[in-house]
Amino acid sequence: MSLKGSVIMPKETILHEVEEKEERVVLVAVDADNSDDDTEKCLDELEELAKTAGAITVGRVVQKRERIHPGFYVGTGKLEEIKTMINAFDATGIICDDELSPAQIRNMEEALQTKIMDRTMVILDIFAARATSREGKIQVELAQLKYRLSRLTGIGASMSRLGGGIGTRGPGEKKLETDRRYIKERIAELKSDLEEIRTHRSLLRSRREQKGMPVVSLVGYTNAGKSTILNSLTDAGVLEEDKLFATLDTTTRNVTLPGGSNIYLTDTVGFIQKLSHHLVEAFKATLEELKFADILLHVIDSSDQNREKHMEVVYSTLKDLGCSEKPVITVFNKMDKEVEFPLPEDRICTDKISICAKDSESLEKLLLKIEEVLKSFRKSMKVLIPYSEGHLLAVVHGKCEIISEEHTADGTLIEAYMNDEAMGRLEKYKVE
Ligand SMILES: Nc1nc2c(ncn2[C@@H]2O[C@H](COP(=O)(O)OP(=O)(O)OP(=O)(O)O)[C@@H](O)[C@H]2O)c(=O)[nH]1
Ligand SMILES: [Mg+2]
């Protein structure tokens, strides 16, 4: 796969073309807690990430040691083994499974004379190739620059001497030579662009709020089937693919529940383990949408051997984003595949359901479940809304289930089941 970087570069940046040659990488991991199985699974995922970024994995090296070596990531003895492997398999670089410090990059590069990459660089590279919206592109460029800035001493050498490929993409298929000042200026510029986008987003959001429809957000580990669910329920046409990080942008569509009320269903970027804080930071603008959700649908690939680990990662990422208090419906997806029983426990969720995103019957059940959970948050309240506050009627019609409605001389008298938020907004007009 040839990656097309997508970050817009300013004129003053010095660019020169780099020939794109096949990247052959050795994956390196440190097994600090002596769990062979977990480390291998992490490396399977890293191999998948490398493949998505266009590199071929030619070997793996795992070192068991109490902790990551502060200077060389692995112990110096292990470096020799890696060197032999690089020569034997004609590798063009290595990818370490953890985020490397500038010193580790510099030291390993000197010792191995090859390109040194880490998990974050690979993910950033995939994001750079996948970002299509203006927001997505800005967020990726911001994450890349922040990452480079924090590692300028280490990576600088790696980038100038050792050619293109993973970690150097983004500014077209060209290589970027930057200095600290340029990066800082550009970061400030991008931040202000993001601020603009944020304002636009909140405008869209307030328009949606005016309509008063509940917002349901799909969250979950990458490749769990979030976009497939959105596409099957609507004509969203979001890219769904058996690849990590198929989706980067947030898409929201209107869905009608079996009872006739409407919700907004939102699909967004998936989570992954060891997701660096640079990325979470950069994608906060996109992920901020989750904060405004009434319910989260936590989609799980039930056929994945690592499903429990994935669930943990999702919950901890939600916590980082300040969304851990939201009601969650756990959606065990891909039940048509070979699935191990019993399914994992989820004590945090409000409710759960097993589905196959490609089967219309089970999607209907999912919609019923959403309806049921939305209803369970509601209590009945009677309000008299003056005719001058017509917009509040939209809130009642969108967010609430109407029990009775009557037009009186003083306004509309409505009794309805409402959630806490709607109750708060309508408190002023409450009648006994
Ligand atoms: N067999 C089966 N495959 C599914 C099901 N749901 C999704 N898939 C497949 O799983 C792959 C990933 O689906 P996506 O919808 O792209 O997953 P996602 O959660 O949006 O992934 P990211 O955007 O990467 O975070 C695709 O190849 C889908 O066709 C299901 O219920 N059964
Ligand atoms: Mg997706």
Write out the residue limits of the CATH 3.40.50.11060 domain(s) in the chain: 14-183
Q: Are 147 and 278 in contact (CB under 8 A)?
A: yes
Strand partners, 124: none
- Which pLDDT belongs to residue 167? 64
- Which pLDDT belongs to residue 169? 55
- Which pLDDT belongs to residue 165? 66
Q: Which numbered atom of ligand 1 lies nearest the CA of 333?
A: 31
- Which pLDDT belongs to residue 17? 42
Q: What are phi and psi of 182, to 5 degrees?
A: -55, -45
**Would you call 56 helix, strand, or coil by DSSP?**
strand
Strand partners, 333: 301
- Which pLDDT belongs to residue 381? 92
Mutate to test the pocket of ligand 1, among 217, 228, 238 (most ligand atoms within 8 A of CB): 228
Rounded CA-CA distance 229/218 in Å is 9
- Which pLDDT belongs to residue 160? 47
- Which pLDDT belongs to residue 333? 98
Write out the residue limits of the CATH 3.40.50.300 domain(s) in the chain: 213-375
Residue 389 CA: distances (Å) to CA of 211, 386, 394, 432? 14, 6, 10, 19
The DSSP output letter for 410 is T
Class of domain 14-183: alpha beta
Q: Which residues contact 92 (CB under 8 A, 6 or more apart)?
A: 21, 22, 23, 24, 25, 114, 115, 163, 165
CA 136 remoteness from chain centre: 11
Assess whether the C-beta atom of 244 lies below 6 angstroms from ligand 1.
yes
* Peptide bond preceding 342 in cis form (omega within 30 of 0): yes
Residue 402 CA: distances (Å) to CA of 73, 374, 411? 62, 14, 16
**Would you call 110 helix, strand, or coil by DSSP?**
helix
CA 90 remoteness from chain centre: 34
Assess whether the C-beta atom of 231 lies below 6 angstroms from ligand 1.
no
Assess whether the C-beta atom of 225 lies below 6 angstroms from ligand 1.
yes
Q: Which of 282, 294, 357, 304 has the alpha carbon at shortest distance from 328?
A: 294
Rounded CA-CA distance 115/55 in Å is 13
Tens of pLDDT along the chain (432 residues) come to 333 333 344 433 333 444 567 899 999 999 988 777 889 999 999 999 999 999 999 999 999 999 999 999 999 899 999 999 999 999 999 999 999 998 999 899 999 999 999 999 999 999 888 888 888 889 889 888 888 877 765 444 444 444 556 665 554 334 445 567 888 899 999 999 988 888 888 888 887 776 668 899 999 999 999 999 999 999 888 888 888 888 888 889 999 999 888 899 999 889 998 887 777 777 776 788 888 899 999 999 999 999 999 999 999 999 988 899 999 999 999 999 999 999 999 989 999 999 999 999 999 999 999 999 988 888 889 999 999 998 888 888 877 878 899 999 999 999 998 877 788 889 999 998
- Which pLDDT belongs to residue 115? 93
Residues whose beta carbons lie less than 5 angstroms from ion ligand 2: 226-227, 246-247
Ligand 1: distance of its center to the CA of 333 in Å? 9
What fold characterizes domain 213-375?
Rossmann fold (3.40.50)
